[in-house]
Structure 1
Amino acid sequence: MRIFNHMNMHLYIKAIPVILLLAFSSPVVHASGVNGPKPDISLTLIPPSPVTDQITLDVRAGIWNHASAKKTISVSFYLDKEEKSSLLHQQNITLAAKANGLVKFPWSTKNMAGDHKIILVTHSGKKILRKERPMQVLASTIRSTKRIDGAWFGFYHWSEAEGKYWNAELKKATDAQWGEMMEDQSKLDMNIIVIQDVIRNPDAYAGKHHIETEGYKGVPYYPSAIIPGRFPLTAKDPLEAVLASADKNHMNVFVGVGSYAWFDFTKGSLEWHKKLADELWAKYGHHDSFYGWYVSEEQDGGLGDEQARKDIVDFFKEFKAYVNKIAPDKPVMLATNSHNLRGAEDTYRKLLPNLDILCPFAFHRMLPTDLTGEQAANKLQELCNEAGSHLWMDMEIFDFAEGNALVPRSIQGVISDLHRFPNFEKILCYQYPGLLNSPDASIKPGGANTVKLYLDYKQYLDSIKNAKD
């Protein structure tokens, strides 16, 4: 869920050394009571392909030992081909029984323009496992690819007013049509999907709800065993449909863990998120496209008052440690707005070490009394560099129409942002459903203007892909 008009209404509380990290965890008991998927190895690249030759890639391997005894595993990474001259990194790790671990190292893309693949190979006794990911490196003078690398994906907009032109159509979408949207998005080379949330609870706000005493009132979009009820979508399981189509189209899905209550990072919210993460991994963690975790609650760029700042730091310290026990290589992402950063720097320094990706939005509509969009982007980049976190951009591809209804932004505004902010290693957009539609789509939530933006962006994308260096 995204709260946009609240920003207008009340300022919206909206050369690295080589590192090897081994993180070990104990077995995970899932809150749903269902045994989770049991992968043997997993390979995650942050960010995923494509990237420019001006970044440092975060290469991660999750390794599982499902045996009942301790096991030593040899972990090797290769570039393009599995031979000694192409070895990027190698390490032996020892895992306790029923435990998992993380091997992580940075790889600079400098002078590496071209089409590559990162290959993970593990050896344990006679058992050899392999996993690989493509990595296209674009020659550039900046970090950004100057393209939209992915999109938010909401099953139903939190606000009936803002979702006026698409909510009714999304409610009628079948499982097949959700999968179709994934295919159409992939044709724009947008290979990252951020599921906004998987539970609808639009009216709960931090400090203004009574969940602890009256119970949680949200309803899931997917068949949940831990949260009763279902939001009345035609699709039986739109989350499964999205992940299955993303598998087929080699896409990367952040599963939205939320929403508990807007801006709420209290202890109660943390425990709720842990239980939900357990179930989501148990039900959907077998999908190759399950890329990471997105915490749906959002926050203002100033990170709230003193108590809210303490809460958000404590939340991510514990939540990241918890989900790393489930899936050690999967990143955690949060979207904040880009406003009110001054004075919050010390809190970011505490928060970012436990946040893999920060993906702020609204740089193009800073208030006159605030930093400029460029200044905000530079400040956040410095803080992320200091913490070793990744800074991506959540670019808004909408304008407000009558009654705050969201409508597609002009292609000129979209292109302006793509070129105005060169430091973001990935630029995602809010959102695909309701703002972008292929002309061949069987349903077109949002109407004809969404098709126009889709085609206008496709023309821009083709122009930069075909341009000579």
Structure 2
Amino acid sequence: MKRKIFLTLCFIMIVASTVYGGDNRVGLTLIPPGTITNKVDLDIRAGIVNQGTEQQDFKISIYLNNVEQQSLLHYSTITLPIGASHSIKYVLNTTDKVGNNRIILRVEDGKQSYEVTKKFEVIESDIRSTRLIDGAWAGIYHWSEIEGKHWNADIKQMTDAQWHEMVRSMHNIGMDVIVIQEVFRNQEYVGQHKMNVDNYPGKAFYPSELYPDRVPIMAHDPLEAILSEADKLGMSVMMGVGMFAWFDFSAESLEWHKQVAKELWNKYGSHPSFYSFYISEECAGNLYNSEQTYEMQLVRKKEICDFFREFKKYIKKFAPEKPIMLATNSMGVLDGADAYPALLQNLDILCPFGFARMPKGDLTGKEAADILQNFCDDAGAHLWFDLEAFLFNPDNSLYPRPIEEIIHDLTLLDNFEKVLCYQYPGVFNDPKMSRRIGEKRTIKLYQQYQKYMNDVKRMRRNNK
């Protein structure tokens, strides 16, 4: 009996993203998560943190599907000083991996063995995209009262239980990646404020100890509600670290993001669905936004590259396997060509938007997508698609985009390994939800997309 108890204590296994045991933390992330086509390589990230009081040695093994020698993808040994972290990246070609699979990470420290497992599905395809929407932004409250005119009053009344409902409704139509747009509301812009970490006036969407003032919404902790429901359903949540100020990647913004990211990790990092960090500030495709002088354009480009280099370095200390994502627009990308290589060295996922509304004289949406794909391929980064599922009314309020236009984008722009849409609340509505968020026509879009999704999946089955 004592031997059985000893073995139980010495082997810790979890089918999730992270396992803690003894003095160490071990984590596993797959980029992209969930379902991919066999034209997309799987980026496997393993992370280890020595949280103990002495230097430790580790044996690290990564397996495909079974823990056996012929399934071993990677093996290494490392030594980590106190407080140090280590990450491993292994890229798996999926051409012949069609079907359901799993990646198994096993780490041994001489005292304990840790095992973390993540599942993924590969489908046969002649393109990179699944031609489905794999996830969506979920703004807790829309940043613009004008744009969110048709749903802000409704979403403000959402309870924690109704956030659970919304996560389930997203899962029901295959939107299994949730991007929380921001965790603080603060409406400022780069170069137009004098904020720092000490005088930051923003209000939180969750119980923050850093900045306790709260946005007046009904839900007590929508982040906990989203994460806990996503845990049950095997979904992935990208935590929106923001808003400091739109387009602001200054030293002050970097320090604020570090502190908020650490608080979010301390509060929510044990959730299996906590997938990544998403920087909420956004940026133009030129990487300098609306700066008019060449000198200031260079300043902004340097700031954004410095920001992600330092932020990545900081996150690696406690969550070395967690990716970082930024959404940019698709406009003026050639003007940013000199800065993208440095930026993408420290940005795991670039998720641009706006391909359907390229300005006159710029590239076409398809041309911009192809150029960004080349930038990402050269840097070993990932290109996802932020599909706009909305259109603007004459008063600039948002309304659901016709399903035909959404399908057109999914068909035309087929190089993206993951497609996320902006956004779910106020644009899509499950008719079974206890509260409708926004206009009645949001229900129609939900039903139309659900039919499209089912048709695509039926065609896949028939083609097997």
TM-score, normalised relative to structure 1:
0.90
Equivalent position of 1:435 in the other structure: 427
SS in 2 for 1:210: coil
Structure 1, residues 72-100: CA drift from partner, whole Å, max 9, x if none? 11111111111112111111122112332
1:180 aligns with 2:165: yes
Task: Report the Cα distance in structure 1 between the residues aligned to 2:266 and 2:372, rounded to whole angstroms.
Answer: 34
Equivalent position of 1:8 in the other structure: none
1:414 aligns with 2:387: no
Shift of 1:320: 0.9
Structure 1, residues 313-339: CA drift from partner, whole Å, max 9, x if none? 111111111111120000010000000
Q: 2:363 aligns with which of 359, 365, 371?
A: 371
Equivalent position of 1:360 in the other structure: 352
1:151 aligns with 2:136: yes
Task: Report the Cα distance in structure 2 between the residues aligned to 1:177 and 1:258, rounded to whole angstroms.
Answer: 23
Q: Which runs of 4+ in 1 moved over 6 A?
A: none
SS in 1 for 2:421: strand
Counterpart contact for 1:39–1:286, Cα < 8 Å:
no
Equivalent position of 2:10 in the other structure: none
Task: Report the Cα distance in structure 2 between the residues aligned to 1:394 and 1:41, rounded to whole angstroms.
Answer: 30
Task: Report the Cα distance in structure 2 between the residues aligned to 1:462 and 1:93, rounded to whole angstroms.
Answer: 47
1:97 aligns with 2:89: no
Structure 1 residue ranges without an equivalent (≥5) = 1-36
Task: Report the Cα distance in structure 1 between the residues aligned to 2:84 and 2:312, rounded to whole angstroms.
Answer: 17
Equivalent position of 2:447 in the other structure: 455
1:271 aligns with 2:263: no
Task: Report the Cα distance in structure 2 between the residues aligned to 1:374 and 1:43, rounded to whole angstroms.
Answer: 33
Task: Report the Cα distance in structure 1 between the residues aligned to 2:251 and 2:233, rounded to whole angstroms.
Answer: 38
SS in 2 for 1:211: coil
Counterpart contact for 2:158–2:217, Cα < 8 Å:
yes
Shift of 1:38: 8.1
SS in 2 for 1:450: helix
Task: Report the Cα distance in structure 2 between the residues aligned to 1:66 and 1:320, rounded to whole angstroms.
Answer: 19
Return closer, same or farther for 1:393/1:223 CA change in 2, 3 Å cut-off. Answer: same
Alignment of 1:60-79 (within 5 A): 60-79=45-64
Counterpart contact for 2:44–2:89, Cα < 8 Å:
yes
1:128 aligns with 2:113: yes
Shift of 1:178: 0.7
Alignment of 1:23-422 (within 5 A): 40-202=25-187, 204-212=188-196, 215-304=199-288, 305-422=297-414
Task: Report the Cα distance in structure 1 between the residues aligned to 2:31 and 2:419, rounded to whole angstroms.
Answer: 13
Shift of 1:67: 2.4
SS in 2 for 1:122: strand
Shift of 1:212: 4.2
Structure 1, residues 181-216: CA drift from partner, whole Å, max 9, x if none? 0111011111111110000012x0111112149922
TM-score, normalised relative to structure 2:
0.91
Shift of 1:370: 0.3
Task: Report the Cα distance in structure 1 between the residues aligned to 2:137 and 2:146, rounded to whole angstroms.
Answer: 19
Of all paired residues, the percent bearing the same amino acid is 49
Counterpart contact for 1:74–1:122, Cα < 8 Å:
yes
Amino acid at match of 2:43: D
Task: Report the Cα distance in structure 2 between the residues aligned to 1:39 and 1:234, rounded to whole angstroms.
Answer: 38
Counterpart contact for 1:220–1:231, Cα < 8 Å:
yes
Equivalent position of 1:28 in the other structure: none
Return closer, same or farther for 1:79/1:213 CA change in 2, 3 Å cut-off. Answer: closer
Task: Report the Cα distance in structure 2 between the residues aligned to 1:244 and 1:214, rounded to whole angstroms.
Answer: 31
Out of 355-364 and 213-222, give the one that drifted further. Answer: 213-222
Return closer, same or farther for 1:215/1:65 CA change in 2, 3 Å cut-off. Answer: closer
Structure 1, residues 205-264: CA drift from partner, whole Å, max 9, x if none? 111112149922211111110113111110001111111111111111110110001111
SS in 1 for 2:395: helix
Amino acid at match of 1:326: F
Task: Report the Cα distance in structure 2 between the residues aligned to 1:183 and 1:328, rounded to whole angstroms.
Answer: 29
Task: Report the Cα distance in structure 2 between the residues aligned to 1:141 and 1:72, rounded to whole angstroms.
Answer: 44
Out of 99-108 and 209-218, give the one that drifted further. Answer: 209-218
Task: Report the Cα distance in structure 1 between the residues aligned to 2:282 and 2:325, rounded to whole angstroms.
Answer: 10
Structure 1, residues 37-70: CA drift from partner, whole Å, max 9, x if none? 9862111000001000001111011112232221
Amino acid at match of 1:428: L
Amino acid at match of 1:230: R
SS in 2 for 1:245: helix
Structure 1, residues 265-292: CA drift from partner, whole Å, max 9, x if none? 1111111111111111111111111111
Task: Report the Cα distance in structure 2 between the residues aligned to 1:111 and 1:80, rounded to whole angstroms.
Answer: 14
Equivalent position of 1:16 in the other structure: none
